[in-house]
């Protein structure tokens, strides 16, 4: 089966510019509010211990993660290409990281519903699929880290092995089973069942080749994301073990998906990282600082990428208009 096909979209900065502009302004205002109303002195005192080169390294790694997210979205929904694909991905990430209570997650469905032939509810279905896959891949990587790194009790290792089998099974048979359920449900005589399953149509129609691309890009982006935490701890606290950092980073990422984050994405996510690191016997405050550095790199990466894509798109529009007038 082929992926969902939508109409080809041309680069036109005027099309849909208002909703993108409004979403971007809301996101930027949230970031500004985080700086104004947050504990600025704590930010400054903490960041004095951080080298600028570390922040730039984290920013570069997270930028690569966002590129992987764009490729994954391209494999799921056909039609978004080039600058529009990158703009949608980076705006979604920046909004999801900046707005409180994960309100920014609504940006992706809004953009997909506006820029493709998908309905808003189908776009929500795509978002749910992406986030569910993120959780599975993240837990899989964390489980592998525990098994490879060792240093834990035998009961934890047994649980990790069982978890590894379950997660691999979910990845291997999840899509075929979803297809069968979707096909069976769409043949139902109950209209409500068909209406509900129509939301999952974009995901159910993904070919196995596209699904392989989705899995590969998901694994790549989370490997690099976890690497960002390793890089941060390698500079700030070299005593932290490899397993403790990966388990803490996994907890931080999972908590960040909950609608309990503050402005700028700061709060429970960094506390969960520091709590896990402290459980393993390492310094709480240093771990908290490492989490803040990674979050800062994520914000800078998404903001810089989004502004760069806006600038390139605007330049292309001006060039085309100038060429047309000539």
Q: Are 290 and 232 in contact (CB under 8 A)?
A: yes
Residue 36 has pLDDT above 60, yes or no: no
Question: What does the pLDDT read at residue 59?
Answer: 94
Q: How confident is the model at residue 2 (pLDDT cuts 50, 70, 90)?
A: very low
Which percentage of the chain shows pLDDT scores above 70? 66
Radius of gyration of the chain (CA): 21
Q: How confident is the model at residue 228 (pLDDT cuts 50, 70, 90)?
A: very high
Residue 226 has pLDDT above 80, yes or no: yes
Average pLDDT of span 63-77 = 94
* Most confident segment among 31-40, 59-68, 196-205: 59-68
Condensed to tens digits (0 to 9), the pLDDT of residues 126-158 reads: 999 899 889 888 888 888 877 776 656 666 667
Domain ranges in the chain are: 17-34+51-125+209-325
Between residues 27 and 146, the one the model is more confident about: 146
Q: How confident is the model at residue 10 (pLDDT cuts 50, 70, 90)?
A: very low
Residue 235 has pLDDT above 70, yes or no: yes
Average pLDDT of span 223-231 = 94
CA dihedral 232, 235, 239, 245 (to 10 degrees): 10
* Cβ within 8 Å of residue 89, ≥6 positions away: 66, 69, 70, 73
Taking phi over 0 as left and psi of -120 to 50 as alpha, with beta for the rest, 151 belongs to left
Average pLDDT of span 50-79 = 91
Pick the range with the lowest mean pLDDT from 8-12, 165-169, 307-311.
8-12
Residue 163 has pLDDT above 80, yes or no: no
* Most confident segment among 3-17, 160-174, 291-305: 291-305
Question: What does the pLDDT read at residue 66?
Answer: 95
For 9-18, letters b (16+ CB in 10 Å) and e give beeebeeeee
Three-class secondary structure of residue 4 per DSSP: strand
Three-class secondary structure of residue 67 per DSSP: helix
Taking phi over 0 as left and psi of -120 to 50 as alpha, with beta for the rest, 282 belongs to beta
Residue 239 has pLDDT above 80, yes or no: yes
**With 0-12 CB in 10 A as exposed, 13-18 as middle and 19+ as buried, what is 180?**
exposed
Condensed to tens digits (0 to 9), the pLDDT of residues 242-277 reads: 888 999 999 999 888 887 776 667 778 888 999 999
Question: What does the pLDDT read at residue 258?
Answer: 82
Q: How confident is the model at residue 14 (pLDDT cuts 50, 70, 90)?
A: very low
Between residues 114 and 185, the one the model is more confident about: 114
Residue 63 has pLDDT above 90, yes or no: yes
Residue 216, phi then psi, degrees to nearest 5: -65, -45
Round to whole Å and give the CA distance between 194 and 181: 11
CA 314 to chain centre: 26
Q: How confident is the model at residue 20 (pLDDT cuts 50, 70, 90)?
A: low
Pick the range with the lowest mean pLDDT from 28-42, 220-234, 274-288, 308-322.
28-42
Three-class secondary structure of residue 77 per DSSP: strand
Between residues 320 and 252, the one the model is more confident about: 252
Round to whole Å and give the CA distance between 79 and 116: 7
């Amino acid at each position: 089966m082929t992926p969902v096909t939508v109409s080809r979209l041309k680069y036109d900065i005027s099309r849909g510019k208002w909703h993108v502009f409004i979403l971007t302004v809301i996101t930027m205002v949230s970031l500004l509010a985080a700086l104004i109303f947050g504990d600025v002195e704590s930010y400054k005192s903490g960041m004095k211990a951080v080298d600028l080169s570390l922040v730039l390294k984290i920013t570069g790694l997270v930028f690569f993660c966002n590129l992987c997210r764009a490729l994954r979205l391209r494999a799921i929904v056909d039609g978004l290409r080039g600058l529009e694909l990158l703009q949608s991905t980076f705006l979604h990430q920046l909004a999801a990281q900046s707005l409180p209570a994960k309100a920014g997650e609504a940006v992706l469905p809004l953009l997909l519903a506006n820029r493709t032939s998908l309905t808003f509810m189908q776009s929500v279905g795509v978002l749910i699929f992406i986030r569910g896959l993120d959780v599975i891949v993240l837990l899989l990587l964390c489980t592998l880290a525990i098994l490879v790194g060792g240093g834990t009790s035998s009961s934890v290792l047994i649980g990790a092995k069982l978890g590894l089998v379950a997660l691999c099974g979910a990845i291997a048979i999840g899509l075929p089973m979803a297809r069968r359920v979707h096909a069976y449900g769409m043949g139902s005589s109950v209209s409500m069942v068909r209406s509900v399953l129509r939301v999952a149509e974009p995901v159910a129609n993904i070919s196995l080749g596209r699904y392989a691309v989705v899995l590969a890009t998901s694994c790549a982006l989370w490997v690099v994301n976890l690497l960002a935490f390793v890089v941060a701890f390698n500079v700030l606290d070299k005593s932290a073990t490899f397993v403790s950092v990966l388990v803490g980073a996994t907890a931080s990422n999972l908590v960040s998906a909950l609608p309990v984050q503050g402005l700028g994405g700061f709060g429970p996510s960094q506390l969960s990282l520091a709590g896990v690191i402290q459980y393993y016997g390492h310094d709480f405050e240093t771990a908290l600082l490492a989490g803040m550095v990674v979050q800062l790199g994520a914000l800078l990466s998404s903001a810089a990428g989004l502004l760069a894509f806006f600038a390139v798109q605007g330049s292309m529009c001006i060039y085309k208009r100038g060429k047309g007038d000539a």
